Amino acid sequence: EDASRLPNASHVRLRPEIIATPPYRQGKPAAPDAFKLSSNENPFPPLPGVIEAISAAHDVNRYPDATATALRERLAAEHGVSADEIHVGSGSVALLSQFIQAAAGPGDEVLYSWRSFEAYPGLVTVAGATSVPIANNGNGAHDLTSIADAITDRTRVVIVCTPNNPTGTIITAIDFAAFMQKVPAHVLVLLDEAYAEFVRDDTAVNGLDIVGRYPNLVVLRTFSKAYGLAGLRVGWALGSEQLLDAARASAIPLSVTGPAQAAAIASLDRSDELLSRVDVLVERRDHVVARLREQGWAIPATQSNFVWLATGNETDAAAATFTEHGIVSRPFAGAGIRLSIGEPESVDKLLAAAEVIVNSL
Ligand code: PMP
């Protein structure tokens, strides 16, 4: 580690709950030729047409369109809503932050399933609100009954993640409808569907189909995963104007750059090609899951671009085995390891490491 050069500032009064919050951490390749399967990224390189659109958005001496009008109009037309019922942010994680801040502050509760996307607890802390994590069921899926039962008069937001990161499990349309019946109308429900395009289970809920039924529901989508634009940071929300206006008021202005907006539109223009890449990844996922099960792993029913290995107390050792096999994994101490479905060449390495690990458990 590089030694500090500036004076120690630990006497400056900062919010204690913030000091206690660890910063968001990314998996990093230990070796340059290692396959980075730690962040659920898309292994395909950007399409040439998308790169061209980014280069063409060259007027970067000017601020971008603050409300991403062209992109919102495009998404609105595709999904049969008004452009005011779409809101764009610098990644869906920024949107999560905006909606949480818009609805929950000190004394308020935000419910979510756990384990789920590792950014949720930190975003709730920054808002000054209280996290109420509800344990997943034994299969790594949301326990919607327990989540509904945990709603109190302090609950302001419920985050529901389908497919769930890191287990990949989906929520069925039937279960989601039953859940929404139990959620009071004043509680904001955020349906985080970052991995929706990888779902092939037709019993799964699809927020885009049902958002019109529930005034308190916002659906969150992203260009980071299926559309392969993780580095440009574009996410979007679909929901009632009153909810989106509150998120817009909570946003850092101008955070979605012009090149990012242009790349998202160019990606929508090429969605057939991009979604056929998703088909390839889905096939690869199903292959990996089948082989892992043959090896003896109990894999949750993933509908996403990653798999979850429940390595429990052996997680650190298992992560080291992946590193030795040239794979950067995402270990969650004491719980398990999440691995993205990446390049074709990563698959055999992933499977070889997993076989060593399962035989040592
Ligand atoms: N939601 C979930 C469930 C995720 O896994 C991620 C990314 N890992 C995000 C949201 C945020 O993605 P982005 O900000 O890149 O849109």
| Predicted local confidence at residue 1, as pLDDT | 66
Cβ of 257 less than 6 Å from ligand 1:
no
Residues 6+ apart with CB under 8 A from 150: 111, 132, 134
- Whole-angstrom distance, CA of residue 342 vs CA of residue 261: 26
Class of domain 25-40+272-360: alpha beta
ipTM of the complex: 0.99
Record the pTM: 0.97
Count CB atoms within 10 A of the CB of residue 134.
Answer: 19
What is the whole-number distance in angstroms between the Cα of residue 345 and the centre of ligand 1? Answer: 25
Point out the ligand 1 atom lying closest to the alpha carbon of residue 92: 16
Task: Please choose from 39, 87, 117, 142 the residue to mutate so as to test ligand 1's pocket, defined by most ligand atoms within 8 A of CB.
Answer: 117
> Which of 112, 142, 222, 303 for a ligand 1 pocket mutation test, highest count of atoms within 8 Å of Cβ?
222
Atom 11 (ligand 1) nearest CA = 93
Q: Cα 137 to the chain's mean position, in Å?
A: 20
With a CB cutoff of 8 Å and minimum separation 6, the contacts of 168 are 140, 195, 300, 301, 302, 303, 304, 306, 307, 308
* Mutational pocket test of ligand 1: of 40, 88, 92, the residue with most ligand atoms within 8 Å of the beta carbon: 92
Residue 206's Cβ-count burial label (10 Å; 0-12, 13-18, 19+) is: middle
Q: How far is the CA of 45 from the centre of ligand 1 (A)?
A: 19
Which residue has the least CA distance to atom 13 on ligand 1? 91
Neighbours of 45 (CB within 10 A): 9
Question: In the chain, what are the domain boundaries?
Answer: 25-40+272-360, 48-269
- Give the position, in ligand 1's atom list, of the atom nearest the Cα of 235: 16
Centroid of ligand 1 to alpha carbon of 94 (angstroms): 9
Q: What is the pLDDT along the chain (361 residues), one digit of tens a residue?
A: 689 999 999 999 999 999 998 887 777 777 889 999 999 999 999 999 999 999 999 999 999 999 999 999 999 999 999 999 999 999 999 999 999 999 999 999 999 999 999 999 999 999 999 999 999 998 999 999 999 999 999 999 999 999 999 999 999 999 999 999 999 999 999 999 999 999 999 999 999 999 999 999 999 999 999 999 999 999 999 999 999 999 999 999 999 999 999 999 999 999 999 999 999 999 999 999 999 999 999 999 999 999 999 999 999 999 999 999 999 999 999 999 999 999 999 999 999 999 999 999 8
259 lines ligand 1 (CB under 6 A): no
Nearest atom, ligand 1, residue 222 CA = 16
Ligand 1 centre from 356 Cα, in Å? 30
Q: How many residues are given for the chain?
A: 361
CATH number of 48-269: 3.40.640.10
CA of 357 to the centre of ligand 1 (A): 28
